[in-house]
Structure 1
């Protein structure tokens, strides 16, 4: 490492800039010398902020102790605008993102560093929420994520700067440089914690507050503004690229990296060599926290989570239809069988998506991308579980592989309950038990709705009566907050009518009544029942359920609603 005489450099800066401008407000060394990886050939980079009534951005070169020194001179207002909004594409802010050595007015540049990093954290949080509107509530984030995400974004927008970030991470200076960079991020994060936007968990992780997530989700237009902002950043950086002294600084980093790497392959895209920020995001499961970037196949899961003597005895069987890749993993364990459900969330393209589009055209939009469906399955499952709703516990999740491993619920699904009910003759006690299950399903759905969640795919096959008598909701990949709750009711009732061609109308009447009474007695909104009678819902299920059955279900709903309306004044 080449040492500098800081005091001598400070005097030289005053003398050199004084030839052009008298009022130096701040000056700091940035680049290779500040990062302690400069060699004998490296020029010294100094940012000089001056008081000026006019906008100013210029580069000048001088000789200092036989070394070239590059002064990047900017007026104070322009610098502060770049800190606040990347007015100049963030090219000036980069000098305080990475390690720097202040030689004039250190308190000012420290304040601006924290201010800039607070804005960076804010942008990252907002994009994280917009990219993962459901799952972000469960994220457990290490503070380092914000530094590495900022590095990755900068390098993606302006790839040549990646060489500077790679030099900063060199093994002999990495700890020192990352500590200096994180110092500003940690100060910014403390402000977010004090403002209630972040919460510190176990003195190690940060969680985004639910209130902050909701406030950002309400401003989805921000995503489009960020797109224009990134485009502007690319253009500004291209324009600034014509300044030879600015590009010379980047070329120094490239030369140092190439020299240090020696015989390595310097032609590999440098951005790909940067640390993946998502390694520092974790999500909780019943088997512990999982890194967002962890990749694990079904076979990997077996090797890691099953005792070796049991993992040798397993088989995998596919479940479900063409729209889902769902498997059941069976493992022999102490003369018993341990079952795990494995869901692989592939994107729905072409012919797989076409029938769904026709089915619910104009009534219901389905989430088709694998990433979004996995996010909903995980996030809504965790949310409902935390609020006492019976859902399968999530054992493990691999967002990168789009795989979720879930608890297997032993029991029968509600479609079997309804089929038995339609076939029931003469067994009054058995009929009452089955109707009680329907009523309890209505109650459980009302509890889910009271939490502001719609199930999205509420057909009876996705509701299980467990062997111990509990009602479980499974397959939550279409669930969402603030969704269409009337759709859930319409789907359960109208879809249930297709399990037999000629059901007893009396049985249909009893089934519908039990479901509605159960729904309402647990606080379900009567308005949801009314909306479920809309023709826009009925037309969807006419593909599956005979018209006379749909009419019977609809008429029973109307009679119950009329009775409730008559009783209401009392």
Structure 2
């Protein structure tokens, strides 16, 4: 389905829209004959906050409508468990207001990098300044985490990283992580694609260290809150309509079963520890 046709359906369905982007199977290359066109639709103001809308326009369009405030809060603070903003991790195809979509992509990737780097500093303490981190650590760490607690995501990411698609998709998504690292300023590139936490950043982070054992408790608490928020937002996006939620889940499960029959099952989710050289 052409971009112009999607934009036309979107305008007829919603009227004025602030920004929009395609994401998912159609962008990442693993769409099948019955795959939806997934579209993130951002409104300057949107009463429901976040909501799915399905439109059959010859092909099925799955619009995830969201207000700017909700998207920005999720990108920056994981206020909705990343349910919305984590769609910005993978390859995107902005179709309206490219600059805004890309700005939120970078914001989300900055949040991921900051959080995962902080956890590494808590673990390795002063030795963190000698910890080598490959750029791939950050997306793989996030993918493994989401797939472990949110099953619908596992199908998507296994296909994003499929052997015949992995190179293309990584090439599309990694520049956003590189730009996020530059903007954050907490990591220093030591070799192409390899980084170390800066000395001042490590000192500042450790100066805020809690009592022994509480750092781990803080991390666990925050990540549990994120999982709960993700599922609550999923329910809210369906307007508490179980049929809509079931429709999305069954759509992915059906495609997953067919992919396994046709291509066989394989795990593409490499252990992110492989992208670390410990001090």
Under a length normalisation based on structure 1, what TM-score does the superposition of the two structures give? 0.45
Q: Which residue of 2 aligns with 1:8?
A: 5
Q: Secondary structure at the match of 2:82?
A: coil
* Structure 1 residue 235: Cα displacement: 1.6
Instruction: Provide closer, same or farther for how the CA distance between residues 110 and 204 of structure 1 changes in structure 2, counting only shifts above 3 A.
Output: closer
* Structure 1 residue 108: Cα displacement: 0.2
Instruction: Provide closer, same or farther for how the CA distance between residues 169 and 247 of structure 1 changes in structure 2, counting only shifts above 3 A.
Output: farther
Asked if 1:59 is matched to 2:84, the reply is: no
Q: Which residue of 2 aligns with 1:384?
A: none
Q: Secondary structure at the match of 1:133?
A: helix
Query: How many residue pairs get matched?
Result: 269
1:96-111 equivalent positions in 2, closer than 5 A? 96-111=88-103
- Tell me the alpha carbon deviations over residues 435-462 of structure 1, each in whole angstroms, 9 at most, x when there is no partner: xxxxxxxxxxxxxxxxxxxxxxxxxxxx
State the alpha-carbon separation in 1 of the partners of residues 268 and 169 from structure 2: 17
Q: Which residue of 2 aligns with 1:34?
A: 27
State the alpha-carbon separation in 2 of the partners of residues 67 and 248 from structure 1: 16
Asked if 1:278 is matched to 2:277, the reply is: no
1:116-515 equivalent positions in 2, closer than 5 A? 116-192=108-184, 195=185, 197-221=186-210, 223-242=216-235, 243=238, 244-245=243-244, 248-262=247-261, 274-283=269-278
Residues 34 and 100 of structure 1 are in contact (CA less than 8 Å); yes or no, is this contact kept in structure 2?
yes
Residues 41 and 64 of structure 2 are in contact (CA less than 8 Å); yes or no, is this contact kept in structure 1?
yes
State the alpha-carbon separation in 2 of the partners of residues 151 and 79 from structure 1: 19
- Tell me the alpha carbon deviations over residues 89-132 of structure 1, each in whole angstroms, 9 at most, x when there is no partner: 11101221112211111110001100110011000000111122
What's the RMSD between the two structures over aligned residues?
Answer: 2.2
Q: Identify which of 64, 70, 77 aligns with 2:69.
A: 77
Instruction: Provide closer, same or farther for how the CA distance between residues 111 and 247 of structure 1 changes in structure 2, counting only shifts above 3 A.
Output: farther
Residues 149 and 277 of structure 1 are in contact (CA less than 8 Å); yes or no, is this contact kept in structure 2?
yes
Runs ≥4 residues deviating over 6 A:
none
Instruction: Provide closer, same or farther for how the CA distance between residues 220 and 245 of structure 1 changes in structure 2, counting only shifts above 3 A.
Output: farther
State the alpha-carbon separation in 1 of the partners of residues 233 and 46 from structure 2: 22
State the alpha-carbon separation in 1 of the partners of residues 121 and 113 from structure 2: 12
Gaps of 5+ in 2: none
* Structure 1 residue 54: Cα displacement: 4.4
Residues 142 and 206 of structure 1 are in contact (CA less than 8 Å); yes or no, is this contact kept in structure 2?
yes
* Structure 1 residue 239: Cα displacement: 2.4
Residues 161 and 268 of structure 2 are in contact (CA less than 8 Å); yes or no, is this contact kept in structure 1?
no
Higher-Rg structure is 1
* Structure 1 residue 265: Cα displacement: 7.0
Instruction: Provide closer, same or farther for how the CA distance between residues 171 and 249 of structure 1 changes in structure 2, counting only shifts above 3 A.
Output: farther
State the alpha-carbon separation in 1 of the partners of residues 159 and 98 from structure 2: 24
Residues 167 and 257 of structure 1 are in contact (CA less than 8 Å); yes or no, is this contact kept in structure 2?
no
Asked if 1:47 is matched to 2:46, the reply is: no
Gaps of 5+ in 1: 284-378, 380-570
Residues 83 and 115 of structure 1 are in contact (CA less than 8 Å); yes or no, is this contact kept in structure 2?
yes
State the alpha-carbon separation in 2 of the partners of residues 103 and 111 from structure 1: 14
- Tell me the alpha carbon deviations over residues 455-492 of structure 1, each in whole angstroms, 9 at most, x when there is no partner: xxxxxxxxxxxxxxxxxxxxxxxxxxxxxxxxxxxxxx
Under a length normalisation based on structure 2, what TM-score does the superposition of the two structures give? 0.88
State the alpha-carbon separation in 2 of the partners of residues 248 and 174 from structure 1: 28
Instruction: Provide closer, same or farther for how the CA distance between residues 250 and 180 of structure 1 changes in structure 2, counting only shifts above 3 A.
Output: farther
State the alpha-carbon separation in 2 of the partners of residues 7 and 32 from structure 1: 19
State the alpha-carbon separation in 1 of the partners of residues 4 and 61 from structure 2: 15
* Structure 1 residue 32: Cα displacement: 1.0
Structure with a larger share of its residues in helix = 2
Instruction: Provide closer, same or farther for how the CA distance between residues 252 and 177 of structure 1 changes in structure 2, counting only shifts above 3 A.
Output: farther
Residues 50 and 73 of structure 1 are in contact (CA less than 8 Å); yes or no, is this contact kept in structure 2?
yes
Q: Secondary structure at the match of 1:61?
A: strand
State the alpha-carbon separation in 2 of the partners of residues 253 and 177 from structure 1: 20
Pick 1 or 2: higher relative contact order, CA cutoff 8 A, min separation 6: 2
Q: Which residue of 1 aligns with 2:17?
A: 24
State the alpha-carbon separation in 2 of the partners of residues 171 and 273 from structure 1: 8
